Structure 1
Amino acid sequence: MIATTVRLGVSRIGNEVRSYFRQGDSVFFTFLFPLLMLTIFSTAFSAQSFGTDDNGDSLSAASYYLPGMLAAGLLLSGVQNLAIDIAVERGDGTLKRLAGTPLPVVSYFIGKLGQVLVTGAAQAVLLLVVARVVFGVDLPTTAAAWSTFAWVFLLGVTTSAVLGIALSRIPRTGKSATAVIIPITLVLQFISGVYLAFTDLPTWLQNVASVFPLKWMAQGMRSVFLPSGFERLEQGEVWNLGGVALVTGLWLVVGLVICRVTFRWIRKDG
């Protein structure tokens, strides 16, 4: 039974990925949006220095914004993408039709999670390639740095996907999903150190942002791609990777519980 559930879920991943790339709005606002923002910031602030690296050389805008865009990509690929996508599928009757098939809910989840993992990984690779080739960003050269990147990415993308499934219950209709979900993800990006330096925010706003996982995912990415001297600009003047794992992991558990309790093929009030 478990093997069949997993097999059905894995078989759905390819269909989910193809469906994702057929939706122009999803591709632009989730897959390409971080790349667009990286390009805008890197170009607009190309003449500005954002500090110095470990060798004393000037840090470019592309180098400074890359970690935040990688973290934002996790949020958009998981939370925004799935919350809107599943709400639309619930509204147009797709989930109702699936309810009439032998497909287990777990298999449906596996397909969605797999889609986010594949598209999120492709997005991260695209960001890294463009940052290196187009903007000349120096990428990490140590195995330790890439190991940190790997676990922050995997934990972040999984948590974001689960939270996206959980948030898909909020929109009343598929048509309202975009208007409901995008403001949530946009506000989180602005208060979590993606577009603005986190320490430039008021202390109370930093504390609010610290409750949510995006701030911690961005901090984990900064620990990988920014020079060691930037650690003093974080809360507590440390990268605090233990905090990154703890808070993001807690949100993963919270998301799983919400999904287990609230997910239905159709809305009871619909």
Structure 2
Amino acid sequence: MTATMTTPTLPAGRTVTLGVSRIIYEVKAYFRQGDTVFFTFLFPVMMLAIFSTAFAESDFGRDDAGNTMSGAAFYLPAMLAAGVLLSGLQNMSIDIATEKSDGTLKRLAGSPLPMISYFIGKIGQVFVTSVLQAALIIAVAALAFGVNLPDDPQRWLTFVWVFVLGVTTSSILGIALSGLPRSGKSATAVIIPIALVLQFISGVYLQFTMLPEWLQNVASVFPLKWMAQGMRAAFLPETFEALEQGGSWDLAGVAIATSIWLVVGLVVCRLTFRWIRKDS
């Protein structure tokens, strides 16, 4: 006979309270893992420092006032987008795949914790760590490398909605992707190459328009390209808009493409997520 795991039904307020408690637990657990903190939380900061130092004498173009664009200013929006992907898609998928494999989810399935509270905890952890990470990246860019931050409130509003939508979408896609690895041991080997390839083809490490047109079209299918484009719209001067694919920031396209992936991720999660793997 096959035992059926049922999710307990609790009042909405209790479910949310348990979810908030899970956020606190997940954040503490996150920062207790040295490798996760280094390769997810600090990695974009480290890459920003490397690129800013390596290309300190390079000319990436001119800002609206005609001043030379530094490597730090050019790579700031790229590292913010990469941080969203790493914290959401990469970390979430590896973390959940590991918890499936080591029996954590199986134990939670037999506990009074509702599935929605579990996801509130996971997604909440991604939001908390992503906010802290973004603040650190911006602070390092401004204080250590002298990057001039936008003084237009509209640009900061653009940053906020691109960031929130990007974190939400990346988190949901991370949950959906967590079913791909066959075990917790293989999760890193399966997920990290996906995240790495997306970064290289989406305008994170290389200027997007430097890529072959066919590769630009491939990257345009995936959300990271649009998140990076939205971040550039928030932090780069207007003179750089002409360098985008189509010659425009296309913020409407950023919102639509990212939202489509959010819906796709929700559908995949609904159809495929289980506390316990079918083949376990």
TM-score range for the pair, normalised by the shorter chain length:
over 0.9
Alignment partner, residue 106 of structure 2: 96
What SS does the aligned partner of 2:199 have? helix
Distance across 1 between alignment mates of 2:242 and 2:279: 50
Distance across 2 between alignment mates of 1:65 and 1:79: 21
Distance across 2 between alignment mates of 1:257 and 1:72: 24
Q: Which runs of 4+ in 1 moved over 6 A?
A: none
Alignment partner, residue 263 of structure 1: 273
Distance across 1 between alignment mates of 2:207 and 2:12: 46
Distance across 2 between alignment mates of 1:152 and 1:2: 29
The Cα shift of 1:94 comes to: 0.4
Aligned counterpart for 1:12 among listed residues 16, 22, 46:
22
Matched, 1:243 2:243: no
Matched, 1:149 2:159: yes
Distance across 2 between alignment mates of 1:260 and 1:9: 19
Q: Deviations over 1:41-96 (max 9, x none)?
A: 00001011100111111000000000000000000000000000000111111000
Q: Deviations over 1:207-239 (max 9, x none)?
A: 000000000000000001111010011111000
The Cα shift of 1:7 comes to: 1.4
Distance across 1 between alignment mates of 2:268 and 2:18: 23
Q: Deviations over 1:125-176 (max 9, x none)?
A: 0000000000000001111011000000000001000100110000000000
Aligned counterpart for 1:112 among listed residues 99, 113, 122:
122
Distance across 2 between alignment mates of 1:127 and 1:200: 25
Q: Deviations over 1:94-118 (max 9, x none)?
A: 0000001011111100000000000
Distance across 1 between alignment mates of 2:261 and 2:15: 25
Alignment partner, residue 203 of structure 1: 213
TM-score, normalised by the number of residues in structure 1: 0.99
Distance across 1 between alignment mates of 2:115 and 2:266: 13
2:35 maps to amino acid: D
In the TM superposition, what are the counterparts of 1:34-73 in structure 2 within 5 Å? 34-73=44-83
Distance across 2 between alignment mates of 1:256 and 1:26: 25
Alignment partner, residue 91 of structure 2: 81
Matched, 1:252 2:238: no
1:217 maps to amino acid: M
1:114 maps to amino acid: G
1:95 maps to amino acid: L
Distance across 2 between alignment mates of 1:182 and 1:78: 12
Distance across 2 between alignment mates of 1:170 and 1:28: 24
1:51 maps to amino acid: G
2:170 maps to amino acid: S
Distance across 1 between alignment mates of 2:48 and 2:256: 28
Distance across 1 between alignment mates of 2:263 and 2:115: 18
Alignment partner, residue 186 of structure 2: 176
Aligned counterpart for 1:28 among listed residues 38, 48, 54:
38
Alignment partner, residue 160 of structure 1: 170
Distance across 2 between alignment mates of 1:110 and 1:259: 14
What SS does the aligned partner of 1:132 have? helix
Matched, 1:136 2:146: yes
Question: What residue ranges of structure 2 are gaps of 5+ in the alignment?
Answer: 1-10
The Cα shift of 1:4 comes to: 1.6
Number of residue pairs matched by the alignment: 270
Distance across 2 between alignment mates of 1:116 and 1:157: 7
